[in-house]
Amino acid sequence: MNLRPEQLPSHLQRELASLYVLHGDEPLLVIEAADSIRAAAKAQGVTEREVLVTHQYFKWDEFGLAAGNLSLFGDRRLIDLRIPNGKPGKIGGESLVRCARELPLPGGDITLITLPLLDWAMRKTVWFAALSEAGTMIECNAPELAQLPQWISGRLARQQQNAPREALDFIAGHVEGNLLAAHQEIQKLGLLYEPGALSLAQVEDAVLHVARYDTEKLRTALLEGDAPRCARLLEGLKGEGAAAPFVLWAMANEIRTLANVRAVIDGGQSVDGALKAERVFGPRQALIKRAVQRLKGGGLRAALMHAARIDRLAKGLDKGDVWDEFLQLALRVRAR
């Protein structure tokens, strides 16, 4: 069974499953989901809990013994296994497969496994497939920027507050990529103001600029042709002292991929064949497909030449403002 984080509370009102697997890139959602499962387990009579955290020298026998041993007093237990790097290895993978195949009946012990964000290759492993088939999976990823205002609205509703769309957009723009910060800002609004409607002025007065900028979001905005977001992210990266060569690598890498895919398509091959040749997999495929539809080969080659000029600027071999050139480069990729 696959659940979204917002579906978990209603699910936990019923008898708990024997296996839960949390995975994703958003710490707040992972923490909240794990806390909810532990609280529900306690409410349903699970009195013992054993926490196991994998590391370089972790002995997977410990997990096997924990999952197989009966409680000394016959009480139900929660086996809380955490795999921070998401890579159990060969022995760990075999142990997870056994766990999935030998689960107790509902009403017995509960296993909670926590993983980080998994790439497409890890999702195709035998152990992940076994866990997916046997357990309840909750993917805890941050909502996309377009869905973030709605997420914030739902969180405000929990504390009996609401805000107009422009206020929700303001909060989203200032906490982009940082749900923990968003959670803190929403809680702050609950402390500062009474339940009810909030105005844009109240929100602007209370919310701090806590956005977390990174090059992955810049790459996504570049592929989407979202120039305003690129400008905001570049300004944030500049303010945080990001290394210009690293930013250039992120942008140039995407442009080079687009140029190669466009060239293959122009040569008469299918877009799927071009994506496979460039080893583009997962959610990034849809972004690349949409981008190459709006861009021409000549424009992408010009963008690569522009990136080469920025490289000379970053190395001090030419004169100019590197960060302004980054924005100009983003505008080139936006062109239709």
Q: Tell me, yes or no, whether 120 and 102 share the same domain.
A: yes
Q: Same domain, yes or no, for 44 and 167? A: no
User: For position 15, which CATH number holds?
Assistant: 3.40.50.300
Identify the pLDDT of residue 70. 55
- Mean of pLDDT over the chain: 88
Model pTM? 0.66
Residue type, 200: L
How buried is residue 292: exposed, middle or buried, by Cβ count under 10 Å (0-12/13-18/19+)? buried
Sorting pLDDT into bands at 50, 70 and 90, what band is 210?
Answer: low
Average pLDDT value for residue range 186-210:
87
Number of domains within the chain: 3
72-86: pLDDT as tens digits: 556 788 999 999 989
Q: Does residue 251 sit in the same domain as residue 276?
A: yes
Residues 61 and 99 in one domain: yes
Range of the domain at 175: 148-206
pLDDT value for 315: 84
CATH number for the domain spanning 202: value is 1.10.8.60
* 220 and 201 together in one domain: no
Res 209 pLDDT > 70: no
pLDDT at residue 285 is higher than 70: yes
Q: Is the same domain home to 122 and 47?
A: yes
**pLDDT value at residue 68:** 67
Task: Judge if 272 and 161 occupy the same domain.
Answer: no
Write the CB contacts of 300 (distance below 8 Å, at least 6 apart in sequence).
Answer: 255, 258, 259, 262, 333
Identify whether residues 123 and 14 lie together within a single domain. yes
pLDDT number for residue 121: 86
Q: 93, 88, 66: which is closest to 77 by C-alpha?
A: 66
Which of 206, 232, 256 delimits the end of a domain? 206
For residue 59, pLDDT over 60 is answered with yes
Nearest to 70 by CA among 39, 41, 104: 104
Judgement on whether residues 303 and 222 belong to the same structural domain of the protein: yes
Q: Is the pLDDT of residue 129 over 60?
A: yes
pLDDT attached to residue 205: 86
Highest mean pLDDT among 44-48, 112-116, 227-231, 270-274: 112-116
Percent of the chain with pLDDT over 70: 96
Residue 122's closest CA among 93, 81, 151, 79?
93
Residue 144 has a pLDDT of 83
